[in-house]
Amino acid sequence: MREHKPLSDIAEKVEAGLRLSAEEGLRLFDSEDLHEIGRLADVVRRRKNGRATWYVVNRHINYTNYCVLRCRFCSFCRPYGQGAVDGYELSVEEVIERAVAATGGGATELHIVGGLHPRLPLSYYTEMVSGIRRACPDVHIKAFTAIEIVHLSRMARPRLTVTKVLERLVEAGLDSLPGGGAEIFDQRVHAETFKRKVGEVGWFQVHRTAHEMGVPSTATMLFGHVETRAERVGHLLKLRAHQDASLSARRAHFQALVPLPFIPGGSGLSHLPGPSGLESLKTLAIARLLLDNVGHIKAFWPMLSPKLAQVSLSFGVDDLDGTVGQYDVTHRDGAPAERQALTVERLRRLIRETGRIPLQRDSLYRVLSTG
Residue ranges binding ligand SF4 (CB under 6 A): 67, 69-71, 74, 76-77, 115-116, 147, 197
- Closest approach of ligand SF4 to the CB of residue 195, in Å: 10
- Cβ pair 257, 222 in contact under 8 A: no
CA angle 41, 361, 15 (to 5 degrees): 20
Candidates 61, 261, 205, 253; CA nearest to 143 is 61
Nearer to ligand SF4, 71 or 359 (CB): 71
**Minimum gap (Å) between residue 7 Cβ and ligand SF4:** 35
Q: How far apart are CA 151 and CA 360, in angstroms?
A: 34
Which lies closer to ligand SF4 via its Cβ, residue 220 or residue 283? 220
CB of 84 to ligand SF4, least distance (A): 13
220 or 310, CB closer to ligand SF4? 220
Q: How many helices (H) and strands (E) are present in the chain, helices listed first?
A: 14, 10
Angle between the N-to-C axes of helices 229-249 and 22-30, in degrees from 0 to 180, rounded to the nearest 10 = 140
Q: Based on CB atoms, which residue is closest to ligand SF4, 194 or 301?
A: 194
Closer by beta carbon to ligand SF4, 76 or else 327: 76
Closest residue by Cα to residue 126 from 88, 96, 171, 157: 171
* CB 180, min distance to ligand SF4, A: 8
Q: What is the 3-state secondary structure (H, E, C) of 258-272?
A: EEEECCCCCCCCCCC
Q: Which residue's CB is nearer to ligand SF4, number 54 or number 73? A: 73
CB of 149 to ligand SF4, least distance (A): 12
- Measured between alpha carbons, how far is 96 from 238 in angstroms, rounded to an integer? 36
Q: How far is the CB of 110 from ligand SF4 (least distance, A)?
A: 19
Give the nearest distance from C-beta 14 to ligand SF4 in angstroms: 34
Single-letter residue type at 255: Q
- Minimum CB distance to ligand SF4 smaller for 34 or for 69: 69
Task: State how far the alpha carbon of 58 is from the alpha carbons of 24, 140, 241, in Å.
Answer: 36, 9, 29
Q: Is the dihedral of CA 143, 289, 321, 304 positive or negative?
A: positive
